[in-house]
Structure 1
Amino acid sequence: MSSPAGGTGDGGTGDGGTGDGGTDRATAFAAGAGGLVLAALLLVALNLRAPLTALAPVIDQVAAGLGMSSAGVALLTSIPVLTFAVCTPASAVLVGRWGPERALVVGLLAILVGTLLRSSGSVGAALVGTAVLGIGITLGNVSVPVIITRDFRRRAAGVTGAYTATMNAGSTLTTVFTVPLAVAFGWQWALAGWGVLAAVALVAWVPAGRSLSRRHDGVPTSDTRAQERQRATAQRGLAVLLAIAFAGHTAGYYAMSTWLPTILADRLGFDAATAGSGAAPFQLAAVVGAFLVPLGLAGRLSERTVATVQCVLWLTLPVALLLVPQLWWVGVCLAGAAQGGIFAVIFTLVARRSPSVATARRTSAVVQTGGYACGATAPIALGAVYEATGGWTAPLALLTALLVAMTVALWMAAGPPRVATAPSR
């Protein structure tokens, strides 16, 4: 089948692909089981950001309760993103050995255990629990794109958009409700209580994962070595471009998530409450942005066109803050939608352009390793530039340059594909 950008299948099965012997299984899956798997997958997605964003609203109470310094609190917030960068290569290997179904079960168990450990009341447990939580989310970050590539390739844009929107909805949920829960029950119970999301996802995913495992029993799980070598060479350039694009995106996202309220306060004179409220749409609009990508592609826009529009929208925030700060709210809303859309664009391209599931797993690992490494360091870098220059002009100019690099890389990556893709499902 031709992809929207012109790629054609080559008849190979790919890693986990269905050849002629898998057609009946694929038809049965699409007819019924696919909906149940997708529902379970979205419950998993609720857990891939929500436990992290739950911490920020009660960070002062956590610091006071544990007697932590500001450096210790900063470590609690930075450990997960560092874990994403450091543990993604190992997670990709484990997903390849265990299969994404089992890897997601392990990941959800780690998220549950990490959530409870983080809330147990000691500094050591909080640090270990946060690291365990990050490892669990990393397994999910790697596994979900593999499942989308293998089982939902024909609907990759829509499923990736739903997955991205659900992650952002989970973040919004914990951001809004953690403080009321902390007021009623204390910060430990408020944070630990979000473990229920992981427990519900486990209950849903275990039978869904078993159905996927049975579906793929007896189906070839790899291409020939010659096919893999040929495709790996062609795929390498795409992986590099998407890694650059994701690095720019995550650097922008974590930098703005960290500094946007401060920038609004410093450049526009807002008080803390107003600055915090003004920054909120940057997160909330991502839910809308994640659905703009599949809608655009369904409307027969090319992948390059959709990607370029999202990049331009992302750029409106630093440009507005630099040149027309009175229009900050336009930039916040447009860039908020775009940061959800860019994530969906990048991982839709991973799913659509990877000729096999093994290739998709490796490409996703390369993209996420570099991207999250930049995401972990970007807030520190922008803060250092601010301290050195005494203002936000240079940091915002640096952020603009990163987003321009993202735009160029994604424009190149979203052009007509240079590799053949596996048959779509």
Structure 2
Amino acid sequence: MSRRTAGGFVLLALLLAAVNLRAHLASLPPVVDDVAASLGLTSAGVGLLTSVPVLCFALFTPAASALTARVGPERAITLGLLGILGGTLLRSTGSVTTAMVGTTVLGVGITIGNVAVPVVIARDFRERAASVTGAYAATMNAGSTVTTLLTVPLAVAYGWQWALAGWGVLAVLALAFWVPAGRGLAAHHRKVDAADAARGAGSAATDAGDDRTAHAAQRRLVVLLTLAFAGQASGYYAMTAWLPSILGDTVGLAPAAAGGGAAPFQLAAIAGAFLVPIALAGRVPARAVAASLSALWIALPVGLLVAPDLWWLWVCLAGAAQGGSFTVILTLLAQRSPSVAAARRGSAVVQTAGYACAAAAPTALGAIHESTAGWTAPLLVILALLVVMAVALWTASRPTYLDR
């Protein structure tokens, strides 16, 4: 197998693994009422069941980072996929306990993938980090779109348990490709590491001043991207949870129409994830890309406040922007970190803090809505989060970071 063919096989296997990082989460909301009725869950129980994975992202990202460093990203991705498969099957067995435990196992498996997949991108696709990260983000959104659309028909035909468990085939397919691809990749890097070690310690010497400068730049980058990701993830999960309700209350859409109206927020993310690498490859400055995406994201809360009749436009623009901004954040981390280890550690910090904020955002937004009896204050909160994201991205993407 040629090097190019091997690289293509690894990329295919990596993208199949990426499908599993959101698809299983998106399969639950369409049938959550059936699940609640079958298991006897209260509204609080349903909220816990749907929020557990995001809590896992926040709580277990440091452990996932340590695991990736210890066993390597290849084995970590395999373990993550096994956790996703086991958790998917366990949550469908028909009891409250197994549903909660299975969802937790699923969340931990996805957390490992969230950390390990970007490490492989930063290490093995560094020169194509923007395009591969875009494909990674688009694949995740495509997977969640497919499970969102098809879970209800499957549940009607076979019941919710089989409908949810059936998506385990995605993890099986990913494992079938990733296990051989990961073994080959690990073997390749063992040879590279052995060759580097044979050259002796002399080549590892670096200038202490340059090293301190690189570490200081990395710390600033991580802080800025943490703020950006916290704003991005909080805005995404809050709007995912409440956008149908906002459209129903502010625009007057019926429940079914409001749910359909919110769909472009997810679908347009695929376009955003693909367009960002194209723009960067066309030598559009990263700062210009970041600023444009921030403006499109901010158009959603501002548009719903000042021109709600154009809700479909704001939803589509923000959908593309949220997919694109996720890609920009991970691309900046992959391209501007001084080493793979620094990218892994930075990713752990960014995701831990970002997902901690994201886990709290839907609940906080709901509480603000209930206390104010309207959506003006919640939308202003979303606007504030996105402004923080915009400022952080604007600063992190300035050319001096790239040119250091």
TM more than 0.5: yes
Residues 419 and 291 of structure 1: is their aligned pair in 2 closer, same or farther, counting only changes over 3 Å?
Answer: closer
Residue of structure 2 equivalent to 1:376: 359
Residue of structure 1 equivalent to 2:343: 360
Give how far 1:218 is off. Answer: 3.6
Aligned with 1:262 (options 245, 257, 262) = 245
Residue of structure 2 equivalent to 1:203: 176
Percent of aligned pairs sharing the same letter: 64
Which runs of at least 4 in structure 1 moved beyond 4 Å after TM superposition? 221-230
Measured in 2, the distance between the counterparts of 1:273 and 1:399 equals 24
Measured in 2, the distance between the counterparts of 1:368 and 1:228 equals 25
SS in 2 for 1:320: helix
Residue of structure 2 equivalent to 1:395: 378
Measured in 1, the distance between the counterparts of 2:400 and 2:93 equals 50
Residues 67 and 228 of structure 1: is their aligned pair in 2 closer, same or farther, counting only changes over 3 Å?
Answer: farther
Q: Which amino acid aligns with 1:407?
A: A
Residues 228 and 70 of structure 1: is their aligned pair in 2 closer, same or farther, counting only changes over 3 Å?
Answer: farther
Residue of structure 2 equivalent to 1:86: 59
1:161-210 CA distance string (max 9 Å, x none): 00000000000010000000000000000000000000000010000001
Measured in 2, the distance between the counterparts of 1:411 and 1:35 equals 33
Residue of structure 2 equivalent to 1:150: 123
Q: Which amino acid aligns with 2:380?
A: A
The correspondence of residues 124-139 of structure 1 with structure 2, limited to 5 A, is 124-139=97-112
TM-score (norm 1): 0.90
Residue of structure 2 equivalent to 1:347: 330
Aligned with 2:192 (options 204, 216, 219) = 219
SS in 2 for 1:169: helix
Aligned with 1:50 (options 19, 23, 43) = 23
Residues 140 and 229 of structure 1: is their aligned pair in 2 closer, same or farther, counting only changes over 3 Å?
Answer: farther
Measured in 2, the distance between the counterparts of 1:217 and 1:230 equals 30
Residue 408 in 1 paired to residue 391 in 2? yes
Give how far 1:228 is off. Answer: 6.3
Q: Which amino acid aligns with 1:107?
A: G
Aligned with 2:150 (options 174, 177, 184) = 177
The correspondence of residues 52-131 of structure 1 with structure 2, limited to 5 A, is 52-131=25-104
SS in 2 for 1:217: helix
Residue of structure 1 equivalent to 2:6: 33
Aligned with 1:333 (options 310, 316, 323) = 316
TM-score (norm 2): 0.95
Q: Which amino acid aligns with 2:221?
A: L
1:375-419 CA distance string (max 9 Å, x none): 111111111111111111111011101101100000000112447
Between 1 and 2, higher relative CO (CA 8 Å, sep ≥ 6) is seen in: 1
Worse-superposed segment, 219-228 or 174-183: 219-228
Q: Which amino acid aligns with 2:341?
A: A
Residue of structure 2 equivalent to 1:16: none
Gaps of 5+ in 1: 1-27
Asked if the contact 1:156/1:348 (under 8 Å) is kept, the reply is yes
Give how far 1:102 is off. Answer: 0.3
Asked if the contact 1:231/1:419 (under 8 Å) is kept, the reply is no
Query: What is the Cα-based RMSD across aligned positions, in Å?
Result: 1.7
Residue of structure 1 equivalent to 2:163: 190
Residues 158 and 202 of structure 1: is their aligned pair in 2 closer, same or farther, counting only changes over 3 Å?
Answer: same
Gaps of 5+ in 2: 198-203
